[in-house]
Amino acid sequence: MNGKKYAAEAIGTFWLTFAGCGSAVIAAGFPQVGIGLLGVSLAFGLSVVTMAYAIGHISGAHLNPAVTVGLAAGGRFPAGQVIPYIIAQVVGAIVASGVLYLIASGAAGFDLAKGFASNGYGEHSPGQYSLVACLISEVVMTMIFLFVIMGSTHGRAPAGFAPLAIGLTLTMIHLVSIPVTNTSVNPARSTGPALFVGGWALQQLWLFWIAPLVGGVLGGVLYRWLSPDEPEGIVAGR
């Protein structure tokens, strides 16, 4: 049964990375009809909504190492499954980036040096934001993301609406933070493109693991403190 959970996480993270980063690489700046920042933000949010409904009942649809770690910190996920989930998510993101590369590189003028939707700080931040600003942004955004995930999946929350709340939150996060870091809040999503870009993207990847993981833990612990009366049986991913 656990193997199916891991497969679901890999597939779900594949879709999040392919759809979200693909919207940025392929569609964001397309002449006359480019979807821009709003479109990319919606693509990331919708990828989570669709996969939450598709595989939420199988794996919990974490799709993100920071979510897995945050849910474990919040008492919603067994610690023994954290590492296998993260491995599955990273594999899904890498495969998605490979497929995206095969498609995107088929266009004349394709250039990995343009970033390939990688995350960065300093001179590699879309808005040239400093390391400290990017660190704060990623921690805070991921913390709020986990806070919403914990709240919307609580046993006493309205049933059936969690995917919408989570997807809309991710959309809002991107609307705010794309200019800052190109928005990570997800170490797996950051790892896939960085492996293809190499160089600066790999050198700066550490931030997009540490900050989201810290933010995820903070969000999970904060919500657990705020609302400790979780009904038995409400454990994401079980």
Task: Please report the domains of the chain, with CATH numbers, ordered by start residue.
Answer: 2-108+116-226 (1.20.1080.10)
- Kindly write down the DSSP assignment for every residue of 67-130, as one continuous string: HHHHHHHTTSS-GGGHHHHHHHHHHHHHHHHHHHHHHHTTSTT--GGG-TT----GGGSTT---
Q: Which of 112, 143, 146, 130 is nearest to 21 (CA)?
A: 112
Cβ-contact 134, 181 below 8 angstroms: yes
Torsion sign, CA atoms 83, 65, 166, 95: negative
Q: How many CB atoms lie within 10 A of CB 152?
A: 17
Would you give per-residue pLDDT tens digits along the chain (238 residues)? 789 999 999 999 999 999 999 999 999 888 777 899 999 999 999 999 999 999 999 999 999 999 999 999 999 999 999 999 999 999 999 999 999 999 999 998 899 988 899 999 999 999 999 999 999 999 999 999 999 999 999 988 888 899 999 999 999 999 999 999 999 999 999 999 999 999 999 999 999 999 999 999 999 999 999 987 764 433 343 3
> Of how many residues is the chain composed?
238
Q: Which amino acid is at 161?
A: F
